[in-house]
């Protein structure tokens, strides 16, 4: 019974022992020393790993709150973390010089993926190379250079302007070992490609994955790559020289990686062959730009067509209004009466043809804005009555007003008119001169008729009186 309890206790404790941070991982056959295990247990969660925000070895598919980094670097980091049992802290950087500066200041303990150069060895302990990447010389395929076919050597570069990234191991090694080569520093391979396209440099020295990534992003396909067989860069895990035990632990973990695992990670990188044009960033930008332009042009066309329709409507309505106005003017001008339209101040706003004839004028504009009693003096006695017409909104009539100067007799009518936000008066003058003359003749005729009737009655009465007298005298004689 006691043996059974001990066996059960061992079964519970042993898994915990192997699951503890920093314990020996028999599955990967990693054998840590006792001091290494103690260091792991004491420093888990305290080791700071510096990451650059972007490393173009693969397409980006890992996004963090502070930065994004390539799948290759992230996968490598997770494998080291899982197999070492060390919980790392992230620290992201915008540039490699800033990261290396913090390594020197003791703020960063490890860099997962960094090129091994003599200068960096002053501050870092490098692991064995994880990946050895050959550098290539990239030129334009439609702008070939002598000797660039397949493999080239450094002697082929001596008369060329060669672009290399600032803080790139290639630039450091070339400047140290091959000072005769004219190195043009660039910020990144994107800037190098721009300079290459503008013929500011003859070639770019870089590695395949980086130039492939940028070329695909920029939609460039006319590139030619030649390998420099004797020039390779080793990418390692770098640990600060202050913690040599961390370098030993990291190397043991890296030794547990099989060649197949490393190649599976690295072979996910982009290829120098350009992707289909419809997958490039340039194509996406052109497509978005084109669609945006089509949308804008469509809106402009719609606005233009709508504007034309509205303009035609406006022109039609204007024509209709002009036509109606002409008809109305024709009606006013055809009426054999004088029409004078005045505003609330008594100023003339309209005269019909009869009014112009009365004034011996040809154009209405000569009298527009003038007071009606100044133009028609025989109406001056009515100048104050038009206010009563507007106030009472009732018409006034005056009959047989004689225009002495022209010997014309008028009937005068004041007619109020009201329209939107305004009012006025129509003065209508009806020429009754002929009627007035006929009335005068009729009146004279009627007078003569009355006199004739009166005279006939007097004669008749005189005759009656004379007859009676004659009869009376005859009677007396008898």
CA–CA separation, 425 and 439 (whole Å): 30
pLDDT of 467 reads 77
Q: How confident is the model at residue 290 (pLDDT cuts 50, 70, 90)?
A: very high
Over 80: is that where the pLDDT of 48 sits? yes
301 pLDDT band, cuts 50/70/90, is very high
Q: What is the DSSP string of 53-101?
A: S--TTS---EE-SS-EE-HHHHHHHHHHHHHH---EEEEE-SSHHHHHH
Contact yes or no for 344/371 (Cβ under 8 A): no
The total domain count for the chain is: 4
Radius of gyration of the chain (CA): 58
- Residue that terminates a domain, selected from 275, 292, 307: 275
- Give the number of C-alpha atoms closer than 13 A to the C-alpha of residue 269, restricted to the C-beta side: 21
Are 288 and 373 in a shared domain? no
Contacts of residue 361, Cβ cutoff 8 Å, sequence gap at least 6: 351, 367
Q: Which domain holds residue 297?
A: 277-334
Please indicate, yes or no, whether residues 265 and 327 belong to a single structural domain of this protein.
Answer: no
pLDDT over 80 at 168, yes or no: no
What tens digit of pLDDT does each residue of 308-317 get?
Answer: 999 999 999 9
For 249-278, write each residue's pLDDT tens digit: 989 988 888 877 777 766 654 444 445 666
The count of residues in the chain is: 478
- In whole angstroms, how far apart are CA 132 and each of 128, 151, 273, 350? 10, 17, 21, 100
**CATH code, domain with 65:** 3.40.190.10
251 and 322 belong to one structural domain: no
90 assigned to some structural domain: yes
Token code pair at residue 281: 């960033």
Q: Are 271 and 288 contained in the same domain?
A: no
Look at residue 443 in the predicted model and tell me its pLDDT: 81
Q: Could you tell me if 47 and 151 lie in one domain?
A: yes
Is there a contact between 277 and 216 (Cβ–Cβ < 8 Å)?
Answer: no
Instruction: Verify that 231 and 281 share a domain, yes or no.
Output: no
55 φ/ψ angles, rounded to the nearest 5 degrees = -135, 110
Query: Is residue 460 in some structural domain?
Result: yes
pTM for the predicted model, two decimal places: 0.45
Q: Are 363 and 380 found together in one domain?
A: yes
* Residue 71 exposed, middle or buried by CB count within 10 Å (0-12, 13-18, 19+): middle
Distance of alpha carbon 118 from alpha carbon 410, whole angstroms:
122
Helix (H, G, I), strand (E, B), or coil: what is residue 102? helix
In the predicted model, what is the mean pLDDT of the chain?
Answer: 78
State whether 262 and 316 are in the same domain. no
Any domain includes 13: no
Question: Is 171 contained in some domain?
Answer: yes
Strand partners, 47: 88
Cα separation, 434 vs 431, whole angstroms: 8
Q: Which of 275, 291, 320 is the last residue of a domain?
A: 275
C-alpha 118/C-alpha 191 separation (Å) is: 26
Going by pLDDT thresholds of 50, 70 and 90, the confidence category of residue 143 is low
346 and 268 housed in the same domain: no
Q: How far apart are CA 251 and CA 127, in angstroms?
A: 6
201 and 330 share one domain: no
Of the candidates 270, 161, 153, 159, which has an alpha carbon nearest to the alpha carbon of residue 220? Answer: 270
Are residues 132 and 57 part of one domain? yes
Residues 51/92, Cβ–Cβ less than 8 Å: yes
Angstrom distance (rounded) from CA 131 to CA 129:
5
Which pLDDT does position 272 carry in this prediction? 40
147 φψ region: left (φ > 0), alpha (ψ -120 to 50), beta (else): left
pLDDT of residue 405 exceeding 80: no
Eight-state DSSP code of residue 118: T
Q: What are phi and psi of 135, to 5 degrees?
A: -85, 150
Do 304 and 361 fall into the same domain?
no
- Pairwise CA distance, residues 133 & 207, whole Å: 7
Whole-number pLDDT of residue 112: 79
Look at the alpha carbons of 144, 146, 152, 158 in this order and tell me if their dihedral is positive or negative. Answer: negative
């Amino acid at each position: 019974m006691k043996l059974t309890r001990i066996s059960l206790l061992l079964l519970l404790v042993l898994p915990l022992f192997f699951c503890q941070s920093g314990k020996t991982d028999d599955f990967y056959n990693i054998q840590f020393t006792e001091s290494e295990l103690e260091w792991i247990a004491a420093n888990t969660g305290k080791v700071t790993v510096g990451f650059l925000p972007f490393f173009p070895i693969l397409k980006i598919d890992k996004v963090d709150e502070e930065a994004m980094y390539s799948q290759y670097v992230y996968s490598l980091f997770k494998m080291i973390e899982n197999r070492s049992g060390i919980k790392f802290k992230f620290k992201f950087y915008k540039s490699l010089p800033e990261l290396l500066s913090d390594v020197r200041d003791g703020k960063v303990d490890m860099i997962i993926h960094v090129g091994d150069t003599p200068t960096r060895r002053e501050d870092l302990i490098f692991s064995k190379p994880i990946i050895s990447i050959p550098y290539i010389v990239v030129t334009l395929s439609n702008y070939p250079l002598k000797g660039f076919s397949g493999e080239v050597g450094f002697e082929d570069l001596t008369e060329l302007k060669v672009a290399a990234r600032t803080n790139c191991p290639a630039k450091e090694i070339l400047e140290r070992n091959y000072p005769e080569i004219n190195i043009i520093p660039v910020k990144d391979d994107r800037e190098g490609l721009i300079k290459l396209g503008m013929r500011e440099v003859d070639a770019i020295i870089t590695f395949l994955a980086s130039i492939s990534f940028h070329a695909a992003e920029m939609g460039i396909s006319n590139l030619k790559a030649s390998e420099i067989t004797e020039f390779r860069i080793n990418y390692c895990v770098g640990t600060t020289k202050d913690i040599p035990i961390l370098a030993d632990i990291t190397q043991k973990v890296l030794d547990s990686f099989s060649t197949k695992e490393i190649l599976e990670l690295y072979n996910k990188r982009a290829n120098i062959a350009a992707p289909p044009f419809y997958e490039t960033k340039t194509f996406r930008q052109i497509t978005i730009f084109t669609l945006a332009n089509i949308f804008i042009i469509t809106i402009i066309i719609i606005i233009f067509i709508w504007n034309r329709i509205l303009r035609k409507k406006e022109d039609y309505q204007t024509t209709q209004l002009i036509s109606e106005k002409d008809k109305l003017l024709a009606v006013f001008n055809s009426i054999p009466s004088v029409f004078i339209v005045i505003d609330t101040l008594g100023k003339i706003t309209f005269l019909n043809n009869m009014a112009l004839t009365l004034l011996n004028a040809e154009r209405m504009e000569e009298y527009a804005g003038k007071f009606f009693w100044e133009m028609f003096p025989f109406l001056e006695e009515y100048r104050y009555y038009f206010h009563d017409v507007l106030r009472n909104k009732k018409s006034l009539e005056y009959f047989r007003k004689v225009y002495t100067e022209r010997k014309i007799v008028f009937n005068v009518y004041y007619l109020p008119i009201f329209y939107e936000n305004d009012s006025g008066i129509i003065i209508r003058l009806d020429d009754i001169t002929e009627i007035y003359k006929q009335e005068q003749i009729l009146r004279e005729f009627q007078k003569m008729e009355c006199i004739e009737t009166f005279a006939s009655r007097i004669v008749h009465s005189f005759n009656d009186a004379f007859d009676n007298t004659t009869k009376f005298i005859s009677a007396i004689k008898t």
